[in-house]
Chain A
């Protein structure tokens, strides 16, 4: 009945027995955040009585606003402790695996996700998201980078330059994120930052929430020019970094290099030698 703890000198991440994340503590500032994470999916629209518009490559159009649980079975949990990294792996199936990694002295928690191929036996397909729900009071606002450089303020059901009529409450609020997205609690002066390894869509549809599109597999052409369904049959392996920190200039300048590190990883090259390990260098 014990909780699972991943802890280093800077971060404490608390998980329940099923490996669901519960909180992240920043040991430097002493502040903590309640956070849950779920894998959900939207049902892609395949047309209604009112419109023949389907969800596809150009158009993200879910049926309704409900996001369904992507994994209904209980995952197998593996926890490992080591001198460099502690891990917690949640295994639902070969098509859905999540691993949390906390490296020694690292100020962030990393999550590695294996998603897909998405099951299409229902004949509809799925648009799979990862949703974080936190205890932050975010005032209907979130931020994401528009081009990998400049952070843009996003407000739900609002555009700064025209009066928005909300037609689709989910996809109408999805915006691009290239590397960085975050939500802030201005009163507590804390921030939950998510660094992605690829461009995605993201939205904050409710207070304290932020969700990211992970993988889409739709079975109908959206009639916008592609001419075929976006039947993505691939498996993706993606890495996301989670940072909980204070709102300060120092903190803001800190995650930018981390985002750069994700998109410009260290590059190993291999050779062979018959020399000893001490002689070759």
Chain B
């Protein structure tokens, strides 16, 4: 029921002017607002779902945040890194086959390390587009219609340099 608002917005956006982009600007703004409201409801549902999947015993389910505009340069969800906190990231694969792909996540600092669900530090790389924009890139393997989890943590200079790790983690493409 929670995601009905998104289904309704998607229904409205089947209208021909939304598909072709021949609506007036104020109508485009209305479509965008409907999608945004639907998107927020859907993210809240994902938050509850993944939180319950990660709930252990009687502990409270963790709260999740999202960066739906990851092609932009700032993701508030990774800001805790700059105050020394670790940021676990759970990655969802909506397709029905195992995917082995790179993910790009904006981060507020340039010295981090990424740990996979086995506790191993995996190779990662920082792309710096400007002095205040850094994008963390690393490869993930995610099962069909499933999740993989990683932890991004601030790294000190003494930590193992992920960029010097062997290429073993990305030397096996998924068939």
Q: How far is the CA of A82 from the CA of B104 in the complex (A)?
A: 14
A85-B127, A266-B103, A270-B89 are contacts. A277–B97 as well, Cβ < 8 Å?
no
Q: In the bound complex, do residue A280 and residue B93 qualify as a contact, i.e. CB atoms below 8 Å apart?
A: no
Q: Is the CB of A277 within 8 A of B64?
A: no
Which B146-161 residues sit within 8 Å CB-CB of chain A? 149, 151, 153
Which partner residue on chain B sits nearest A197 by CB separation?
B71
- Chain A positions 233-281 with a Cβ under 8 Å from a chain B Cβ: 237, 239, 257, 260-261, 264, 266-278, 280-281
Query: Range of interface residues on chain A?
Result: 35 or more
**Chain A hits for B173, CB < 8 A:** 105
Q: What's the nearest-Cβ distance from chain B to residue A277, in Å?
A: 4
> For the complex, is A83 an interface residue (Cβ under 8 Å from B)?
yes
Contacts of A82 in B (CB 8 A): 125, 127, 137, 163
Interface residues of B in 42-64 (CB under 8 A from A): 46-47, 50, 62-64
Contact of A272 among B85, B118, B124 (CB under 8 A): B85
- Chain B 72-116, CB-CB to A under 8 Å as 1, else 0, gives 100101101000011111111111010101110100000001011
Q: What's the least CB distance linking A104 to chain B, in Å?
A: 6
What per-residue 1/0 map shows which CB atoms of A74-88 lie under 8 Å from chain B?
000000101111010
Q: Which residues of B contact A239 (CB under 8 A)?
A: 71
Closest chain-A Cβ to B63's Cβ sits at a distance in Å of 6
Inter-chain contact B91/A84, CB cutoff 8 Å:
no
Asked whether B94 lies within 8 Å of A267 as measured between CB atoms, the reply is yes
The smallest beta-carbon distance between B159 and chain A, in angstroms, is 10
Kindly state whether residue A119 has any CB partner on chain B within 8 Å: no
Q: A266-B93, A268-B105, A269-B65 are in contact. Are A87 and B86 (CB under 8 A)?
A: no
Contact present for A269 and B90 (CB under 8 Å): yes
Q: B116 touching A281 by the CB < 8 A rule? A: yes
Residue-by-residue, is A201-217 near B (CB-CB < 8 Å gives 1, otherwise 0)?
00000000000000000
A267 near B91 with CB under 8 A, answer yes
Once the chains bind, are A83 and B91 in contact (CB under 8 Å)? no
Min CB gap A61→B, angstroms: 15
B19 to A, closest residue via Cβ = A199
Interface size, B (range): 35 or more
Contacts of A89 in B (CB 8 A): 129
- In the complex, the number of residue pairs spanning A and B with C-beta atoms less than 8 Å apart equals 140
CB–CB B153/A277 < 8 A = yes
Closest chain A residue to B147 by CB distance? A269
A57 and B22 contact, CB distance less than 8 A: yes
Chain A residues positioned under 8 Å from B24 (CB to CB): 226-228
Determine if B87 and A271 form an interchain contact, defined as CB atoms under 8 angstroms apart: yes
Complex Cα spacing A224 to B24, Å: 12
Given known contacts A84-B170, A228-B24, A270 and B77 CB-to-CB distance under 8 angstroms: yes
Scoring A89, A272, A275 by chain B CB atoms within 10 A of each residue's CB, the highest score goes to A272
Given contacts A227-B24, A271-B64, contact A84 B86 (CB under 8 A): no
Task: Report yes or no: B139 in contact with A84, Cβ–Cβ below 8 A.
Answer: yes
Asked if B123 is an interface residue, CB under 8 A from chain A, the answer is: yes
Q: Are A104 and B117 in contact, with the CB atoms below 8 A?
A: no
Is A277 a contact of B115 with CB atoms below 8 Å?
yes
CB distance from B111 to the nearest CB of A (A): 14
User: Is there a chain B Cβ closer than 8 Å to A123's Cβ?
Assistant: no
Q: Is B2 an interface residue (CB 8 A)?
A: no
CB-nearest residue of chain A to B28: A232
Contact between A271 and B102 (Cβ–Cβ < 8 Å)? no
Contact: B91 with A281, CB < 8 Å? no
> Is B171 close to A, CB under 8 A?
yes
Give the contacting residue for A280; candidates B46, B86, B164; CB below 8 A: B86
Complex CA distance for A44 and B125, rounded to whole angstroms: 43
Contact partners of B47 in chain A: CB under 8 A: 269
Q: Which 8 A-B pairs have the closest CB atoms?
A: A270-B77, A278-B119, A277-B115, A82-B125, A281-B117, A277-B151, A84-B125, A267-B92
**16 contacting pairs across A/B (C-beta < 8 A):** A58-B20, A80-B127, A82-B163, A83-B123, A84-B138, A105-B173, A261-B99, A268-B90, A270-B75, A270-B77, A270-B88, A271-B87, A273-B86, A273-B151, A280-B151, A281-B116
**Given A264-B94, A271-B62, A272-B86; 12 other pairs, CB 8 A cutoff:** A58-B22, A83-B123, A83-B165, A104-B170, A257-B95, A266-B93, A270-B88, A271-B63, A271-B65, A271-B89, A273-B85, A280-B151
